Amino acid sequence: MLSRVANTLYWMVRYVERADNLARLIDVNQQLLLDSESLDSERLRGFWQPIILSTGDEEAFHSIYDQAGSSEVIRYLTDDPRNPNSITSCIALARENARTVRDQLSDELWEELNALYLFSRSDEAGRLVASDPPRYYERIRRSAVTFLGIAASTTARDEEWDFMDLGRYLERADKTTRFLDVASYLPSDEDEVADASSDHLHWSAILRSCSALGAFRAVQRQISAKAVVDFLLFSPQFPRSVHYCVERVDVSLHRISGTPRGTFSNKAERETGRLLADLAYGSVDEAFGAGLHGYLDALQERFNAIGEAIFESYVLMPDRIQTNAVREPRSSSALAAWQMQQQQQQ
């Protein structure tokens, strides 16, 4: 398989997954605020600022907007063309990647992604964002899920599929940690925010953003910070938990290389194996003991390291670099471009 095609499929799915997760995050936060009618405008900003902080876009956001109110944050993350990580930007980037490998995709898959792109740029989408945001975000989420379902139904289980799976689960693991990290930025000096009722609402919202409330209730009766973090970080069964996602990344990497699991043939497999072992034998007490924000930050850095290692192993192709040392500046710029893509969500 050509490295260019592998890279394109990886990013196509990763951008669709990113758009889906942003839609989940914004929609759930809006629903959460409906249960907090007594909040004034200043305290409302205290609920939206953490969304920007958790995505890592604080500097870019404040270079465009003076304040982090609901309308500003929603615009920036939804359809602001100045934000390369907005929902509409991610969908456009996913479609552009798909267009360049159109012959590798099923007709149904291309049609679904193209329809999502056209909707995101339509007058209908603009009206829904302004007048009925829940319907807009539901449309984005359903289209993203449909896209992934069509991919699963129409793609042969070969290297093509494995690179698509890498993009999906690496992005999903990253965004799950960012959903959890929102809690680190919430104001704690207000009675409304600090009381048990608000705490329950906040952690319920995080579960809903991951479509995890039903699965969580099946194994836990009480919603609490530790129970939710334990489920979304360490559950080996739930498909949006970090542990499950890293497990799938590990499986895909070994399918691509053909090496047995438990061994490694490149840096990407080694980094993923280390992380998987830490998650398999880790505990929620360790996460809180180290400081939840710092623990989640460290996970995000390790996801980036895995992404860079995938690029170095399968796209940059170090064996060719070693035999053509004169081309090193071009390779370095390619790696820099990859790193910029990887860190757009930081």
Q: What is the pLDDT of residues 54-106, one digit of tens each?
A: 888 888 999 999 888 888 888 999 999 999 999 999 999 999 999 999 999 99
C-alpha separations of 269 from 219, 248, 262, 266, 305 in Å: 32, 12, 9, 6, 11
Give the torsion sign (CA, 109, 171, 304, 154): negative
User: Do 91 and 116 form a contact (C-beta atoms < 8 A)?
Assistant: yes
Q: Are residues 213 and 277 in the same domain?
A: yes
Q: Are residues 229 and 263 in the same domain?
A: yes
Per-residue pLDDT tens for 324-340?
333 333 444 554 555 45
Quote the percentage of the chain above a pLDDT of 90.
66
Q: Does 31 reside within a domain?
A: yes
Domain total of the chain: 2
In the three-class reduction of DSSP (H, G, I as helix; E, B as strand; rest coil), residue 85 is classed as coil
Q: Does 176 reside within a domain?
A: yes
Q: Are residues 247 and 184 in the same domain?
A: yes
Domain with 69 in it: 1-154
Q: Are residues 83 and 164 in the same domain?
A: no
Q: Are residues 3 and 45 in the same domain?
A: yes
Q: Does 55 reside within a domain?
A: yes
Q: Are residues 117 and 201 in the same domain?
A: no
Q: Does 231 reside within a domain?
A: yes
Per-residue pLDDT tens for 223-269?
999 999 999 999 999 999 999 999 999 999 999 999 999 999 999 99
Q: How far apart are CA 5 and CA 98, in angstroms?
A: 10
pTM: 0.87
Q: Are residues 166 and 147 in the same domain?
A: no
